[in-house]
Structure 1
Amino acid sequence: MVWLVLAFFATALLYASVGFGGGSTYSALLALGGLDYRVLPLVSLACNIVVVAGSTVRFSRAGILPWRRALLLTALAAPAALIGGLTPIGERNFLLLLGASLVLTGVTLLIPVARSSEARATSAARFAPFAAPPLGYLAGLVGIGGGIFLAPLLHLVRWAEAKSIAATAALFILVNSLFGLVGQILKGGEGRFEAAIGFGLPLLVAVAIGGQIGSYLVVKFLPQRWIRWMTAGLTLFVGVRLVLDHI
């Protein structure tokens, strides 16, 4: 358990520093730790909620969350996240899908983020809402928030400036994680939920502390690009290992 607590702390610290929750990596670490795959989405989604809740509040208070547009994406994704949480899936398929999503996550973290707020949105930006439901479904199914896939897409079509996209991704992750967690609880029943709470309490404390440090301190000491590369490296390593172990 000690190594898991430390790994969750580091993951939350890194992911929070680049604006995400870390749910995909939490799930993978739990899988590598041997936790029942039916329980681990509950733990990782709860950790996601702890990390991004504070970020969402801060973005809102700073006035950089585009509420109307962000709520549209979130409203389209949330029901799909609930359905994903309710969907039965076998262990091998779950772990393969989780590993593949981690590899894709690592790749998206390597995509350069445009800093300019002057560039106009592309014509494809209007179609961004169509990506929300499948991302929400994936979020609920494997215990992630989906924002780490949404954000690069929004950057690609220049949907908004970088800070507004980060704020939108945080809200997207928060709501999807809540709906996905409800779906997982309804699917697994009270017994599985109690098992997740009993196992995951130290991890929730670790990500709460790590997430706060990532939000407030890390970006002051390391360039954002280095943090993204370290996060991508961790994610790719765990994702590739999961895929190779379960092909």
Structure 2
Amino acid sequence: MPFALALAFGITALLYASVGFGGGSTYNALLVLAGTDYRILPAIALICNIIVVAGGSWRYAREGCVPWARLWPILLLSAPLAWLGGRIAIERDHFVLILGLSLLVAAILMLTQRESEGQGDHDPRWRWAAPLTGAGVGLLSGLVGIGGGIFLAPVLHLARWAPPRVIAGSASVFILINSLAGLAGQASKIGSDRIGDVAAYWPLVLGVLVGGQIGSLLGARILPPRLIRIATALLIAYVAIRLLLI
């Protein structure tokens, strides 16, 4: 396992954790560029995702920043569809194309995201949009091995769903639940004969564990969230273009 890949995972975890995300989209892209078997890389990315967001989800929930009563309609369809997406087998070229395009969209959403003041969830249209939003993001999440928070958070800001910190907490929980569901689907698809191949990437787990902790600290106490978000979006855009040019 190249040290450079573990270092890249650690830096990615640092950037994403600082804005409340897991990093699954970029983990996938890095694994593709490193020549990893595309059939196992979503499982690797989701494991790393879970490690990064588990602590953040617990911390946000403890601080009362996860509005469970308002979040469950979004999770209602996202988790089962993330599991279904994880079970769908796709060709490598299609996988790379979907991943590259989703990364590019994510970068644009992050760059154009505006902080909200909240309370937009009182709009009656949101009652219908919430499950549909969760369903679409959940299916894509499971298919390419991401948590989906990078797509959900900008939508929630646009809908003025809640203050920024509550949206960050909700996105973190969304990523955790979708990642667990997507990993279950991926595990049933890759089979027991490839579990050893996934386990061989254990240094990446150490990388994201360290990077995620540092990122949470930087995001909470030191660096401005807007600066980190812009830097992360530019990194995502670069990786997306690299993938689309393969």
Q: Which amino acid aligns with 2:236?
A: T
Is residue 116–residue 158 contact of structure 2 (8 Å, CA) maintained in 1?
no
**SS at structure 2 position matched to 1:35:** coil
Distance in 1 between residues matched to 2:122 and 2:107, nearest whole Å: 25
Please name the residue that 1:206 is paired with.
207
Please name the residue that 1:151 is paired with.
153
Distance in 1 between residues matched to 2:119 and 2:67, nearest whole Å: 16
Distance in 2 between residues matched to 1:30 and 1:94, nearest whole Å: 12
For residues 23-78 of structure 1, the C-alpha deviation after alignment (integer angstroms, 9 at most, x for no partner) is 00000000000000001001000000000000100011001110122122123100
Distance in 2 between residues matched to 1:118 and 1:80, nearest whole Å: 27
Q: Which amino acid aligns with 1:129?
A: P
Unaligned runs of 5+ in 2: none
Please name the residue that 1:4 is paired with.
5
Please name the residue that 2:36 is paired with.
35
Q: TM-score, normalised by structure 1?
A: 0.94
Distance in 2 between residues matched to 1:12 and 1:38, nearest whole Å: 22
Please name the residue that 1:64 is paired with.
65
Please name the residue that 2:99 is paired with.
98
Q: Which amino acid aligns with 2:92?
A: E
Distance in 1 between residues matched to 2:117 and 2:125, nearest whole Å: 18
**SS at structure 2 position matched to 1:110:** helix
How many residues end up aligned between the 2 structures? 244
Distance in 2 between residues matched to 1:192 and 1:75, nearest whole Å: 31
Distance in 2 between residues matched to 1:55 and 1:49, nearest whole Å: 10
- The structural deviation recorded for 1:125 is 2.9
Distance in 2 between residues matched to 1:218 and 1:130, nearest whole Å: 30
Is residue 24–residue 102 contact of structure 1 (8 Å, CA) maintained in 2?
yes
- The structural deviation recorded for 1:225 is 1.4
**SS at structure 2 position matched to 1:98:** helix
Q: Superposed, which structure 2 residues align to 1:80-99 within 5 Å?
A: 80-99=81-100
Please name the residue that 1:177 is paired with.
179
Distance in 2 between residues matched to 1:120 and 1:172, nearest whole Å: 17
Deviates more, 1:71-80 or 1:217-226: 217-226
Asked if residue 238 in structure 1 is aligned to residue 239 in structure 2, the reply is yes
For residues 144-163 of structure 1, the C-alpha deviation after alignment (integer angstroms, 9 at most, x for no partner) is 00111011111101111211
Distance in 2 between residues matched to 1:26 and 1:41, nearest whole Å: 9
Q: Which amino acid aligns with 2:238?
A: F
For residues 114-154 of structure 1, the C-alpha deviation after alignment (integer angstroms, 9 at most, x for no partner) is 25347775554332221111111110110000111011111
Please name the residue that 1:75 is paired with.
76
Q: Which amino acid aligns with 1:60?
A: A
Percent identity reads: 49
Is residue 21–residue 49 contact of structure 1 (8 Å, CA) maintained in 2?
yes
Unaligned runs of 5+ in 1: none
For residues 177-215 of structure 1, the C-alpha deviation after alignment (integer angstroms, 9 at most, x for no partner) is 01111111101101222211122x111111011111111
Is residue 121–residue 159 contact of structure 2 (8 Å, CA) maintained in 1?
no
Is residue 118–residue 161 contact of structure 2 (8 Å, CA) maintained in 1?
no
Q: TM-score, normalised by structure 2?
A: 0.94
**SS at structure 2 position matched to 1:64:** coil
Alignment root-mean-square deviation, CA: 1.5
Is residue 77–residue 134 contact of structure 2 (8 Å, CA) maintained in 1?
yes
Distance in 1 between residues matched to 2:12 and 2:196, nearest whole Å: 24
Deviates more, 1:230-239 or 1:158-167: 158-167
Deviates more, 1:48-57 or 1:217-226: 217-226
**SS at structure 1 position matched to 2:20:** coil
- The structural deviation recorded for 1:113 is 2.9
Asked if residue 141 in structure 1 is aligned to residue 105 in structure 2, the reply is no
Distance in 2 between residues matched to 1:20 and 1:214, nearest whole Å: 10
